[in-house]
Structure 1
Amino acid sequence: MPASISLHQLSYSTPDNQPLFTGLDLSFGNHRTGLIGRNGIGKSTLLRIVAGLIHPASGSVTIQGSIGMLEQSVQVTPQTTIADQLGMADALARLYRLERGDGSIDDAGEADWSLPGRVETALKQVGLPAYEADRPLDTLSGGQRTRLALARLILTAPDIILLDEPTNNLDADGRQAVVDLLHHWRGAAVIVSHDRNLLRQMDAIVELTTLGARTYGGNWDHYAERKALELASAEHDLATSERKVADIDRKLQAVAEKKARKDGAGKRKAAKGDIPKIMLGGMKENSENTSGESARLANRLRNDAAEAASEARSNVEILTPLSVTLTPTGLPAGRTVLQAVALTGRPDSTIPITRDLSLQIVGPERVAITGPNGSGKTTLLRLLTGKLPAITGAARIMVPYAMLDQTVSLLDPVLSIRENFRALNPNADENTCRAALARFMFRADAALQIVGTLSGGEMLRAGLACTIGGNQPPQLLILDEPTNHLDIQAVQQVEAGLRGYDGALLVVSHDADFLAAIGITRTISLPMNGF
C-alpha cells in the first residue's frame, strides 16, 4: 500500500492556550509535498504531531508506512557520537567486537557486514567524508550535522520522511544535497521550508494559515502563479465592491435630494391652500411609508455592499506584499564606499581564514559574498567593519553604514521598535519616526512592540525600518544571512524593502532567489581555504 498521512479534525493549542489548529482535515500522499506558512502558524508542530513526538488535543492521525524525521535542531551532548546520530551505534559496535575476536554467537548471527559500506555511501551522497564512527558530534558544524541527519534517512530508508527546514545553515553544496536526496526519493516526503529553490522540486504545496490548510497541485512556481491570480481576483472584487458602495451612496443622495424637492413643493402648495387637508394628510402618510420602505431597502443594500467591500479589502490586505518607497541616500555613482587592501584575519587562534583579500565597492553596487560553510564569510564582514582586528592589511568604510547580523543585534531587545528608531535616528521627529515605521508595516500600536518579543521576520523588518526607513538612510547596508529562519512572506517583505533602497549593499547569503530578487550586481565567492 502506498505511503500516506491522513489528519482528521485535528486540534492543537500552544502551552499558553493559543489555538494553532481547530478541526484540521488534511492528507499527504506518496509524493513530495512542501508545507509553507508564516512563522508561528504551526508547521513544525504539525510535523511533530505526525511523527508522534507530541499529541493533539483532539482528532486523529492515520499513517500508512514507517516515518523518519529531520528536525530543525538536535540536542548534542559531549558523549554523542556520529554513530549515535546515525542510529547505528549498536550495530557498528557489534561488528567491531567481531573484528576484535570477542563477539558472541548472537553478534555473529545479527551482524550486518554491509553496514560500513552503506554508511560510507550515505555520507558521500550528502557530501560528507568517511568520518570515524566514534567522532564526537559536537565537533561538527550545524550544516554538517544537518547533512549527517540526511545520511541517517538514507540509511534507514523509511516510507515517509519529514524534513523541517532542511536547508537552514547549509551552503550551496549542502542545499544541492537536499535537492538530490528528494529527487531520488521514492517514498512520501513532507518538507517545511522557505527555500524557494527546494520548493520547486515539490509535487504539491500545502499552505497553512489561520483559516486551515489549502493544497495547491504543482511546485512553488505553480503556487506563486496561483497566488498572483488570487491577488488579482481579490483586488478586482475590492474595486467592484467599493464601486457598488459608491453607486448606492450616489443613488441615496439623489433620492434624498428628490424627496427634499418634492416635500418642498408640497409644503408650498399646502401653504397656498390648493390641496384639501384630508388629501394632504393621506399624501403625507403615503410619502412617509414609501420613504421609510425605500430607506430600509437602501440601507440593507448598502450594508450588504459595505460588508462585501470589507471582506474583499481584508483579502487584499492579507495577500498584498510589502511595497516600500524610501528616501534617497544621495550616494554618488563614483563615490568609493568601501576599500580593503591585502586583508588577512581570523576569528580566533586558528590559522588565518581570510588571506590577502582586496575589495572595493564604488557607488550603489550590490555585492554578494558567497562560499561554503567555514570559508569565512562572517569573519570577512567583521574584518571589513573593524569588529575584528586585521592581522595584516587594512579596510575602510568611507560612507555612513549600518550592519544587520543574523540576530539583528543593532536593536536593543528591551526597547520598543519606536524607541529603537529614535535611538538610531536622534534627529528624527515623531512624525518622521511613525512614517518610517509605517512604511515597513509597523503602524500605530505595532510600532510599540518590544523588540525582544518579535519573530525573526519582524525583527529583520524592524531593523530595516530603523536603518534605511528614515529621512537619512545610510549609504551602505551590510547584511549577514538575512533570510535564515524567515518564512517566505517575511523574505519577500525584506526583498521589497531592499528593492526600494538606492544605496550600496553588501550581503552574505546562500539564497540564490533572494540575491536575484534584490538585484545583486557582483558576486565574490570565497574558497574553503580562504584567500
Structure 2
Amino acid sequence: MITLQDITYTHPDRDVLFRGLNLIINKKDKIALIGDNGTGKSSLLNMMAGNLQPASGSVKMSSIPYYVPQIFGQFNDYSIAKALQVEGKLKALNEILDGRMTTENMVLLNDDWAVEERCKNALAHWNLEGLDLAQKMGSLSGGQKTKVFLAGIRIHRPEIVLLDEPSNHLDLWSRKRLYDDLASATNTLVVVSHDKTLLKLPERVFELDKRGITVYGGNYDFYVAQKKLESEALKQDLNSREKALRKARETEKEVLERQQKLDARGKKKQEKAGLPTIVMHAFKNNAEKSSSRIKSVHEDKKAVLSQELGQLRAALPDINKMKMDLNNSALHRGKTLVSAKNINFGYYHQLLWKEPLNFRLNSGERMVIRGANGSGKTTLIKMILGWLQPSSGTLNSLSGIKTIYIDQDYSLIDNNLSVYEQAQAYNSGELQEHEIKIRLNRFLFDKAYWNKSCAALSGGEKMRLMLCALTISNAAPDLIVLDEPTNNLDIQNTGILTAAIGDYKGTLLLVSHDELFLKQINAVHSIELH
C-alpha cells in the first residue's frame, strides 16, 4: 500500500510542482500515472522510491519498492550486479562457497542461496544471457540498461514496483515482453509512461496537473473517452460564449444607434420649439448621460463574457492552440535521395549485419529503420548522413539535399542560447522581431519564455522549439531524420509532433519502436536490420 498525505514539493529552481497532494494506492493496484512534461510525475515517483523528500507532508510505503528509473547515466560506473543491488549478496555467496563462512557473509546473504541462479534466469528472460554481472553498465546500450533494471523485478520479487518510462529504448520484441509481464503481474504497480499500448494495461489512470491528481476509474481507453467528453463540452461552452459575445456587441450597436436616432429627433423638436439655450444644454447632457449608461452596461456585459472566453480558451489542450505550417520540400516525388548496394559496417573487424544491406530512399517516402537493440540502427543513420563510411559496398546520396537530423535529445537546440535567440538563429533575415515572437507564441512560447535559457527546457519544449525553428527557416528540409523522436515526450507533445510530421510533405527517415506513432504518420516502408 502507498499513502501520500498532504505532499508539497518544491523544485530546486523554486517552482512548486504540487501542493497539498493526497493519494492512496492499495495492494495489487495497477496505476498509470500520466501528465504533461514538467508536472512532476518523475519527482512524485522518486518520492515514492525514497530518492526525494517532500517539502512537507508524508510518504508511507507498506514495503520497500523496486524502482526502474528513466535515466541510467548515473549507473555507468556501476557493475550490473551493483546496479541490481545484488553485488554484496553475490560476493558473500562466493566467499561462503570458497570456505569463508563468516558472520558478516551469512548476514549479507540472509539465506538467499538461490540469488545467483535467479540473476541468470532473470537476465535470460530478457535475452541478456551473454552479460557478465561484473560488466560495467556503461558498456551497455540504452535498451540493454532498461532490460537489466527490468530483470531486477524477477530477482527481488518486490511487493511494489515503480516504473518510469520503462518502454523507452526497448525494441519491439522487448516491448511485447514488457506488456506480457505487466499484464500478468501481481505486484502493486505505478507506471509513468507515454506509451499508449502500455497505458492500456493498468486498471486506473491518475492524471497529475497543476490542480493536483484526478483519478479516472478505468484504463487509458476509458481516460481518453472521458477527456473527449470533457473536450467536447469545453468546445460547446466556448462556442456558446463566442456567440453570446457577438450577440452582445450587435445588441450594443443596435441600442446605441436607436438611442442616437431618438436623441437626434428630440434635438430637432427642441430646436423647432425654440427652447432657451440653457434648457437645450440640459437635454443634451441628459442624452449623453443616457448613452453613456447604456454603453457602460454593455461594456460590463462584454467584459464578463470576454473573461469567461479567456478562461475557456486557456483550458483548451495546447495542441488546439498551435498553428503548424512546416515548409515542404521542393524536390519532386520519386527522386532517389539515397541508394545502398551491399553495404556493411565493421566494428573491431567484425561486420555488423549478417547480410549486406540493399535499399533505396526516394523523395516523399516515409522509411523506418527496424531492428533489435544493438542491431546498428543509429550507425546506419550516421552512414546515410555521411558521418560514417561503409566498410564494404557503395552508398550514394544525392548532392545538395537539405537534411535535418533530430535525435531524441533534440541536440540541434543550443543550450547556450535563449529561446528567442534559438528561433532567431533559424531566421533567414526576412522576419522582423515581432514576427518571430508571433511564431514563438504559436508554439506556446509566450513572453515569459523568450529570454529563458534553452538548457532549462524539457524534452517536449525543445521539440516544440525545434518545430518552430523549422517553420521560421525558409530553407525547407528535403529530408528529416528522426532518431527515437518520442522517447522523451509526454502524450501531449507526442500528439503535437505527430500532427506536425503528418502535415510535412518531404521525405522522412525514422528510427522508432513506437508502432502507434509510426502508424499515425503513415510510415509504411522499412529497412530491416538483422
> What TM-score do the two structures reach when normalised by structure 1?
0.87
Is structure 2 residue 382 aligned with structure 1 residue 382?
Answer: yes
The one-letter code matched in structure 2 to 1:505 is L
Looking at structure 1, the residues matched to 450 and 292 of structure 2 have their Cα atoms a distance apart, in angstroms, of 46
Show the counterpart of 1:406.
Answer: 408
> SS of the residue aligned with 1:228?
helix
Once the two structures are superposed, what CA deviation does each residue of 1:145-198 show, in whole Å capped at 9, x if it has no partner? 222222222222222211111122222223223222211221221111122221
The 1:466/1:298 distance shift into structure 2, 3 A limit, reads closer
> SS of the residue aligned with 1:316?
coil
Show the counterpart of 2:328.
Answer: 328
Looking at structure 1, the residues matched to 314 and 416 of structure 2 have their Cα atoms a distance apart, in angstroms, of 32
Show the counterpart of 1:101.
Answer: 99
Is structure 2 residue 10 aligned with structure 1 residue 13?
Answer: yes
- Residue pair 1:323, 1:496 contacting (<8 A) in 2 also: no
Following TM superposition, by how much is the alpha carbon of 1:204 offset from its aligned partner in structure 2, in angstroms? 1.6
Show the counterpart of 2:242.
Answer: 242
The one-letter code matched in structure 2 to 1:21 is F
Following TM superposition, by how much is the alpha carbon of 1:360 offset from its aligned partner in structure 2, in angstroms? 0.3
> SS of the residue aligned with 2:350?
coil
The one-letter code matched in structure 1 to 2:333 is A
Is structure 2 residue 368 aligned with structure 1 residue 371?
Answer: no
The one-letter code matched in structure 2 to 1:87 is Q
The 1:204/1:424 distance shift into structure 2, 3 A limit, reads same
Show the counterpart of 2:43.
Answer: 45
Is structure 2 residue 265 aligned with structure 1 residue 268?
Answer: no
Show the counterpart of 2:352.
Answer: 353
The one-letter code matched in structure 1 to 2:404 is A
Looking at structure 1, the residues matched to 284 and 365 of structure 2 have their Cα atoms a distance apart, in angstroms, of 77
Following TM superposition, by how much is the alpha carbon of 1:238 offset from its aligned partner in structure 2, in angstroms? 1.2
Show the counterpart of 1:459.
Answer: 462
Once the two structures are superposed, what CA deviation does each residue of 1:266-302 show, in whole Å capped at 9, x if it has no partner? 2222222288999999988987786666555433332
The one-letter code matched in structure 2 to 1:194 is H
Worse-superposed segment, 431-440 or 111-120: 431-440
The 1:349/1:125 distance shift into structure 2, 3 A limit, reads closer
> SS of the residue aligned with 1:320?
helix
Looking at structure 1, the residues matched to 309 and 475 of structure 2 have their Cα atoms a distance apart, in angstroms, of 38
Unmatched 5+ stretches in structure 1: none
Show the counterpart of 1:165.
Answer: 165
Is structure 2 residue 79 aligned with structure 1 residue 76?
Answer: no
Show the counterpart of 1:22.
Answer: 19
- Residue pair 1:440, 1:497 contacting (<8 A) in 2 also: no
Show the counterpart of 1:88.
Answer: 86
- Residue pair 2:8, 2:57 contacting (<8 A) in 1 also: yes
- Residue pair 1:95, 1:111 contacting (<8 A) in 2 also: no
The 1:211/1:479 distance shift into structure 2, 3 A limit, reads same
Out of 15, 27, 35, which is 2:33 matched to? 35
Following TM superposition, by how much is the alpha carbon of 1:40 offset from its aligned partner in structure 2, in angstroms? 1.9
Following TM superposition, by how much is the alpha carbon of 1:446 offset from its aligned partner in structure 2, in angstroms? 5.1
Show the counterpart of 1:212.
Answer: 212
- Residue pair 1:325, 1:439 contacting (<8 A) in 2 also: no
Is structure 2 residue 479 aligned with structure 1 residue 476?
Answer: yes
Show the counterpart of 1:316.
Answer: 316
The 1:308/1:195 distance shift into structure 2, 3 A limit, reads same
Unmatched 5+ stretches in structure 2: none
Once the two structures are superposed, what CA deviation does each residue of 1:346-388 show, in whole Å capped at 9, x if it has no partner? 4x53523256212101231100001111100010011111101
- Residue pair 1:269, 1:275 contacting (<8 A) in 2 also: no
Following TM superposition, by how much is the alpha carbon of 1:305 offset from its aligned partner in structure 2, in angstroms? 1.6
> SS of the residue aligned with 2:315?
helix
Looking at structure 2, the residues matched to 309 and 270 of structure 1 have their Cα atoms a distance apart, in angstroms, of 45
The one-letter code matched in structure 1 to 2:85 is G
The one-letter code matched in structure 1 to 2:397 is I
Looking at structure 2, the residues matched to 85 and 279 of structure 1 have their Cα atoms a distance apart, in angstroms, of 95
Looking at structure 1, the residues matched to 295 and 438 of structure 2 have their Cα atoms a distance apart, in angstroms, of 41
Once the two structures are superposed, what CA deviation does each residue of 1:212-270 show, in whole Å capped at 9, x if it has no partner? 22222322233223223322222221111011111111111111111111122222222
> What TM-score do the two structures reach when normalised by structure 2?
0.87
The one-letter code matched in structure 1 to 2:212 is G
> SS of the residue aligned with 1:486?
coil
Out of 489, 493, 498, which is 1:490 matched to? 493
Looking at structure 1, the residues matched to 206 and 389 of structure 2 have their Cα atoms a distance apart, in angstroms, of 48
Structure 1 segment 167-246 matched on structure 2, within 5 A: 167-246=167-246
Is structure 2 residue 153 aligned with structure 1 residue 153?
Answer: yes
The 1:421/1:40 distance shift into structure 2, 3 A limit, reads closer
- Residue pair 1:37, 1:208 contacting (<8 A) in 2 also: yes
